[in-house]
Every structure is written in structure tokens, then in C-alpha cells.
A = this chain, B = another copy of it.
Amino acid sequence: MASETDRPLKSPPTMADVAELAGVSTMTVSRALKKGGPISEKTRRKIMNAVDELGYVLDQTAGTLSSKRSGFVVALVPSINSSNFADTARGITEAIENTGLQLLLGYTDYLIEKEERLVESMLTRRPEGIIVTGGRHADRTRRLLSAAGIPVIETWDIPDNPIEHVVGFSNAAATNALVHHLYGLGYRNIGFVGGTSNRDTRGADRRLGYAQAIEQLGLPRGRVISFGKPPISMEQGGEAIAHLMSQWPDVDAAVCVSDLSAFGALMECHRRGWAVPGRIAIAGFGDFEVARCSFPRITTISVDAFEIGRAAGDLLLNAIEASREGRRIPPELMLMPFKVIQREST
């Protein structure tokens, strides 16, 4: 057996090599390699032996060119370190598993300019469909996506003017519901903790929903702390809650833009000896594992990130299948449910 250090630098074997070794044509090899091909069991076996002997691996690159099917699907998420979008990515992965499709994943870093560059570079691979996060995009991104002629799905949001399909929910409505929930519990001086810039449009929508609810309920306005650039971290959640309390000592509840910041805020409260929810109630967004496990457990909005990915993946599969048959399915708007999860922190 060859030592593993003298690994080949030459190009790998081709289908023609396999065909020659098996004594058949390349076409027969091609058919033998895809399941369900019309091949006699005998020749298939011969071919498989040749494949093993040569260590042959199909070159999809070439296949793509001639079949005009790349087998790629792309998904763009803001970040992969937020378990939120990681779950969505997992949902997509699971949906396309065993379909022969490959996921090309990209991180936009919450920047629509980066999204634009990513879309362009991804289209270069001729994906058969694409899933993006959010409903705000650069103009050119929209143009590129429309011109690509492939199914497009926007997620995690309800865009005013969707590109094509949508799988999401209203971040504003969800946060609004959370504030009303806190109101129902008796809280009257409700603050908001979020990131600074408007990079994170979902964060901005949540703030909007908060402001609307405050307005509707006639509660004191302006108790908003903006801290750090999104995604706001645990650490920053801790700093933000300290600011909030020192600026408006009468605040009795804090709505945080995500469970991460809510958790950071909660731990800071522990540290400072502020009872939660006695002195101040804390609520988050996202129903992350950390919110379920912390002490006290954190009241939050649950949105099934995994399910968003799964649903988007399934929808994309349908659209791709239609597209392969020359059809096109009508634009779909899938509203995903959210709900307030009441826990010990409020």
C-alpha cells in the first residue's frame, strides 16, 4: 500500500478511465452511477469494481455544465454564531438532505452591502434557488436575484414588497405582543434594550413594535437604551441594563432585543443584587437555550428558527422541482407563528 505522504498531484481519474477499465462506454458508466439507471446488474457490478479500483469520484462540475443543473442551493444568513440563524441553517440542511442538493451557506454579517457581494459571487455557481434573511436588500441585490431566474425566498421577516416567496413573521407584531403581555402582568415602566445602528432590520422592527405598544397603552415613552452594534452580545446586554436603570430608575421591566442580551442583563442584575423579577422584570426574544436554562428562566418570544429553515427549504424544493419542469409556482407567503413564553423572569 502506498504511503499517505506520496499523495498524487496529478488530476483524479475521469469517467473515461473507469469506462476503459470496465470495458464499456462513458455513457454506461454515467448511467451506472445514478441510481435507477437502465443498467444490467452485471455491467453495473463491473463498473463499480472499476470505480473502487481507481478511487473514482464523479465530477459534478462537468455534470452541471452539460445537464444545466448545478445541484446547489444557497442560503444567506446574518451570522452563524447566533444559534438563531444556525438553527435556520440546520432546518434548511435537513429539508434538502437526500435530495442531491448541496447547500452553499454565506454570512452577511448583518450588512446589506456584504449581502450584495455574496449574492453576486454565489450566482456565479448557478444555484437552483436561494434563501435570504430579511426583507431589506440593496437595489442591485434585488435586480440580480430577479434576473437570475431562480426561486427566491425571504425569511425572518414580512417584507412590504417581497421579491418572490416569503417564510417569516412580523418582528414588530411579536414584540408588540410581548409588551402587551408585560402590561397585563402589571408592569407600567417598560424599557427597551437593543443595538445602536439600523444594520439589524429585525432589531429595528422589534424596537418599532415596542414603541407602538407603548403608544397604544399610553405608557411613558423614551426608555430605550441603544448599545453596541448588532448583534448585541451578552456582555453588552449587561452594560445596557445598568445604563437603563441608572437613567430611568423607575423602570420595572426591560424588553431586550434578543435572549442573548436579556441573559447578559439578567446576570448583571444578579451581580448588582437587583432581584429579578422583583426589582426589575426581564424579557428577551428568540427562546434560545440559554433563556430556558438560566436562573430565573427568561420570558421570551418563541419563534421556531429551525422550522423557518425547514419550511423555507421545503418551499424551495417545490419551487425548484417546478422550475426543472419548466413551471413556476405562485409566490407564497408563509406566516410562521410566534408566541410569548411566560417564565420566571417577569
- Closest CB in chain B relative to A224 CB, distance in Å: 22
A269 nearest CB neighbor, chain B only: B295
- Tell whether, in the assembled complex, residue B295 and residue A267 are in contact, meaning their CB atoms are under 8 Å apart: yes
Chain B residue numbers with a CB within 8 Å of A89 are 80
Which of these, B9, B59, B270, B328, contacts A9 with CB under 8 Å?
B328
Q: Indicate if A7 sits at the interface (CB-CB under 8 A).
A: yes
- Given the complex of chains A and B, what is the CA–CA distance between A292 and B233 in angstroms? 12
Given A70-B61, A89-B80, decide whether A323 and B9 contact each other with a Cβ distance below 8 A: yes
Chain B residue numbers with a CB within 8 Å of A295 are 267, 270-271
Given A5-B331, A149-B9, A328-B9, decide whether A61 and B126 contact each other with a Cβ distance below 8 A: yes
Among A89, A148, A290, the one with the most B-chain Cβ atoms within 10 Å of its Cβ is A290
- Given the complex of chains A and B, what is the CA–CA distance between A326 and B81 in angstroms? 37
Which of these, B12, B62, B125, B233, contacts A147 with CB under 8 Å?
B12
Stretch in contact with the other chain, from A41-49, A102-110, A177-185, A211-219: A102-110
Chain B residue numbers with a CB within 8 Å of A55 are 143-144, 147
- Tell whether, in the assembled complex, residue A124 and residue B263 are in contact, meaning their CB atoms are under 8 Å apart: no
- Given the complex of chains A and B, what is the CA–CA distance between A61 and B68 in angstroms? 10
Oligomeric state, in copies: 2
Q: Indicate if A278 sits at the interface (CB-CB under 8 A).
A: no
- Tell whether, in the assembled complex, residue B163 and residue A4 are in contact, meaning their CB atoms are under 8 Å apart: yes
Chain B residue numbers with a CB within 8 Å of A263 are 290, 293
Given A125-B60, A149-B9, decide whether A290 and B290 contact each other with a Cβ distance below 8 A: yes
Within 8 A of B (CB), among A309-329: 323, 326, 328
Q: Indicate if A17 sits at the interface (CB-CB under 8 A).
A: no
- Given the complex of chains A and B, what is the CA–CA distance between A243 and B260 in angstroms? 28
Chain B residue numbers with a CB within 8 Å of A65 are 61-62, 65
Instruction: Please give the residue numbers on chain A whose beta carbons come within 8 Å of chain B beta carbons, in ascending order.
Output: 4-5, 7-12, 55, 57-62, 64-65, 68, 70, 80-81, 83, 86-87, 89-90, 93, 102-105, 107, 120-121, 123-126, 142-144, 146-149, 163-164, 233-235, 238, 260, 263-264, 267, 270-271, 289-290, 292-295, 323, 326, 328, 331
